[in-house]
Amino acid sequence: MRTILYILQKEFILVFRDKTMLPMIFFMPIIQLIILVNAATFEMKKIDMVVLDQDMSSTSRKLISKFGGAPFYVIKTRTFSAQEAEDALKDNTADLVLKIPANFERDLIRNDKANVQLLINAIDAVAAGLINAYSTNIISDFNKDVLAEWHDLNQMNVDLPLDVSYRYWFNPTLEYKIYMLPGILMILVTIIGMFLSALNIVREKELGTIEQINVTPIRKHHFIIGKLLPFLIIAMFELAFGLIAGRLLFDQPIVGSLFVLFTMAFIYLLVALGFGLFLSTISNNQQQVMFTIFFFLLVFILMSGIFTPVESMPEWAQHVNIINPFKYFIRVLRMIMLKGSGFTDMMKELVSLSIYGLIILSLAVWRYRKTV
């Protein structure tokens, strides 16, 4: 036990004495947080649109003005030429082409049915999906208007018996920032903790100081705990720091209890740092450990559910994702911060992370060799 305290003391002295490390640990993540939370948003702010109106009727104009009146749509050009509309898509000046064919109004009156076409630039699939959703909404709205105008009210009620109303729970205004912040904060805290602990051991290997430690009767698990705790404590501070920044800068709500949040964070960090420590025991220099950590980080982050929902991944990917600690913690963080969940709501994540931590730390202790 005393041994661990001596290691802890030494690590803290070394971290706080390093004049380049301190700002890296405490200011870089906050700057990243500010940039990323503001930048990483899925909201559509502006949709550049080209209108190809081949009907030129009062009904088609009504539809167009419906788009023009919607908040994000900017009608760049109106044209009669299909070629020109297509070109606009090709040279990226338009996100969306609305094509209203000739006889649109006539068909609508005669057949009660008419077609319009949406051409969406799907280079960015997420944006394309949003444009589609928004546009479909506008068109169905237009449908309703047409019905109301052309039929009497009673009949309309028969045609549209269901009035769906939406309510988004836990994030009523669908504010992306408060949804993204927990995820981004988690990534930053993880990166700092993982790199600090992993690089630390490998650095001792490079300097040769690890030999001097290996030649002492130090117990292997004391060594690993001694290397884990300082960086875990730093990462926890980092998390607190980030939460305060989120609160002050983005009005980030934390519905759940801070105690639950920090307890879960502690367990999660055991896993994340344990992972880093394990990688450092199988690497010989800083380059190797950087590359392996980057490999896992990239996969873990992209599959974590921060950007795309885990549920929509193919089944094999969801199975692979069992070893992704980010996946568990991102859910946990969002549940606590947005929903106010307690331990009982997150039993599955709690148990999974605990078992994971136990396994990965045992692996790290086992793989750390005092005798090679």
Partner 1 sequence: MENRGVVIQARNMVKKFGHFTANDNLNFDVYKGEIFGFLGANGAGKTTAIRILCGLSAPTSGKITVAGYDVHRQTESIKKNIGYMSQKFTLYDNLTVWENIRFYAGIYGMKLSAIKVKTDRLMKNLDLEHARDKRIASLPLGWKQKLAFSVAIFHDPKIVFLDEPTGGVDPITRRQFWDMIYETAHSGITVFVTTHYMDEAEYCDRVSIMVDGRIDALDTPAKLKKNYKAKTMNDVFLKLARGENVCPDSYRELNS
Catalog residues that contact partner 1 under the rule CB under 8 A: 2-3, 5-7, 9-10, 13-14, 17-18, 207-209, 211-218, 370-372
Helix (H, G, I), strand (E, B) or coil at 358: helix
Of 161 and 208, CB closest to partner 1: 208
Query: Quick one: 234 exposed, middle or buried, by C-beta within 10 A (0-12, 13-18, 19+)?
Result: buried
**Shortest reach from residue 209's CB to partner 1, in Å:** 5
Gap between the Cα atoms of 317 and 14, Å rounded: 41
Of 16 and 42, CB closest to partner 1: 16
Gap between the Cα atoms of 211 and 195, Å rounded: 22
Gap between the Cα atoms of 83 and 14, Å rounded: 66
Of 43 and 211, CB closest to partner 1: 211
Q: What are the strands of the beta sheet with 47-53, ordered from one edge? A: 73-79, 47-53, 96-100, 117-120
**Shortest reach from residue 282's CB to partner 1, in Å:** 18
Of 149 and 211, CB closest to partner 1: 211
**Shortest reach from residue 5's CB to partner 1, in Å:** 8
Query: How are beta strands 73-79 and 96-100 bridged, if at all?
Result: unpaired
203-212 long-range Cβ contacts below 8 angstroms, 24+ apart: 203/286, 205/284, 205/285, 206/285, 206/286
**Shortest reach from residue 215's CB to partner 1, in Å:** 4
Of 14 and 126, CB closest to partner 1: 14
**Shortest reach from residue 236's CB to partner 1, in Å:** 24
